Amino acid sequence: MRLDGKVAVVTGSGRGIGRAYAMALAAAGCAVVVNDVDADVAQTTVDEITGAGARAVAEVCAVGSSEAADRLVARAVEAFERIDIMCTNAGILRDRVLWNMTDEEFDSVIETHLRGTFTCARAAVRRMREQGGGGRVIVVSSIAGQRGNFGQTNYSAAKAGIAAFARTWAMECAKHSITVNAIVPNAITRMISTIPGMAPLVEAAERGEPLPTMVRQQMGMGTAEDVAPLLVFLCSDAAAEVTGQCIGLGGDKLSLWAHPREISVAYRDGGWTADAIEAVWSSSVGAQPETYGIPFLGK
């Protein structure tokens, strides 16, 4: 699948899944602005892309602020004359159970993920509207954002908000032929090594051991490179009609996430009292409460 002549910004693409996104876009013919807060890893990704004969430049900054977002879009325009794709992948974890989480831990995750996605998408869409010809915004959610996850107050809220961005922006951007989708990735990277139970998998992957089928299929978890084809597809003409979706990819498992919807309703003439709710709860609306949490991590 080719993306020749397209120009992309991928935030946080010095390592992990972002690096795999940048490499895959470049291999498909796209010019890439490689962003990371870490200059060394950003330059390494650029060197690998240009070494393979494709086009890339580095722009080192911490996403979050409007200034950083504007710099990224300006860099794409200066280096490659336009922007067609904005992929807001940069991220951090600061896990802590609710009652121990500090304001700094909460704010830094919201700043990078939620504000960083907002500012980068806004800057890109402003430029795409001026240019004409449409575009692609690919935001990055998480299973934690869809389901909640122990110790991830800040991260699960940011990632749920990002899924909501995709649904809202898909509506707002449709008439400009700009699609907006959220990837829900699952890959063995340094980010997940701090999640309880994940360290042995990360170490096995670092030793280059093949992942068991149970991990690749039931857990839906694989390498960073396993996720990148979904970004290439979403950026292609083949996906021109795909928008407002949350799409999972990890290991061997490609999936479509449901959006929240009412699954059980009841009506009462004149409205409800607390006693009336109690009277019907366990036989009606509350008869099958929803599950929460990530099945393979437990609660």
Candidate segments 50-58, 180-188, 202-210, 259-267, binder of ligand NAD by CB under 6 A? 180-188
Q: In the complex with ligand NAD, which residue's Cβ is closer, 116 or 161?
A: 116
| 146 near ligand NAD (CB under 6 A) | no
> Which H helix or E strand runs over 87?
strand 85-88
**Minimum CB separation from ligand NAD for residue 124, in Å?**
15
Site string for ligand NAD, 63-102 (x = CB under 6 A): xx------------------------xxxx----------
The minimum distance between CB 81 and ligand NAD, in angstroms, equals: 23
Q: 35 pairs with which residues across the strands?
A: 59
Write the DSSP symbol of residue 13. Answer: T
DSSP for 136-158 reads EEEEE--HHHHH--TTBHHHHHH
Does 21 participate in catalysis according to the annotation? no
CB of 224 to ligand NAD, least distance (A): 6
Q: How far is 276 from 269, CA to CA, in rounded Å? A: 11
Please pick, from the candidates 6, 7, 10, 14, the single residue that binds ligand NAD as defined by CB under 6 A: 14
Contact 211, 188 (CB under 8 A): yes
Q: Mark the segment that binds ligand NAD (CB under 6 A) among 11-19, 69-77, 235-243, 257-265.
A: 11-19
Q: Which of 135, 151, 185, 248 binds ligand NAD (CB under 6 A)?
A: 185
| Residue 277 neighbours by CB distance under 10 Å | 14
CA distance 223 to 23: 14
Residue with smallest beta-carbon separation from ligand NAD = 16
- 215 binding ligand NAD? (CB under 6 A): no
**Under 8 Å CB-to-CB from 74, ≥6 apart: which residues?**
none
Burial 66-79, CB ≥16 within 10 A → b, else e:
eebbbbbbebbeee
Which burial class, exposed, middle or buried, applies to 186 when counting CB atoms under 10 A from its CB (0-12, 13-18, 19+)?
buried
181: contact with ligand NAD by CB under 6 A: no
Would residue 159 show up in a list of annotated catalytic residues for this protein?
A: yes
Residues 246-275 binding ligand NAD (CB under 6 A) are none
**Among this protein's residues, is 299 annotated catalytic?**
no
Does position 45 interact with ligand NAD (CB under 6 A)? The reply is no
Determine whether 229 is exposed, middle or buried from the number of CB atoms within 10 Å of its CB (0-12, 13-18, 19+). Answer: middle
Report 151-170 residues binding ligand NAD (CB under 6 A).
none
- DSSP conformation class of 97: -
Q: Is 49 in the site for ligand NAD (CB under 6 A)?
A: no
CB of 260 to ligand NAD, least distance (A): 19
Q: Strands of 7-10's sheet, edge to edge?
A: 56-60, 31-36, 7-10, 85-88, 135-140, 178-185, 246-250, 253-256
In terms of CB distance, is 8 or 63 closer to ligand NAD? Answer: 63
Residues with Cβ within 8 Å of 142's Cβ and at least 6 positions away in sequence, in order, are: 155, 156, 159, 184, 185
Please report how close the Cβ of residue 106 comes to ligand NAD at its closest, in angstroms.
Answer: 15
Q: How far is residue 49 from each of residues 43, 54, 82, measured CA to CA in Å?
A: 10, 6, 19
Candidate list 141, 159, 267, 283, residue with the active-site label: 159
Shortest distance, CB of residue 177 to ligand NAD, whole angstroms? 26
**Interaction site with ligand NAD (CB under 6 A):** 11-12, 14-18, 35-38, 41, 62-64, 89-92, 112, 116, 140, 142, 185-187, 189-192, 224
Q: Which positions are annotated as active-site residues?
A: 142, 155, 159
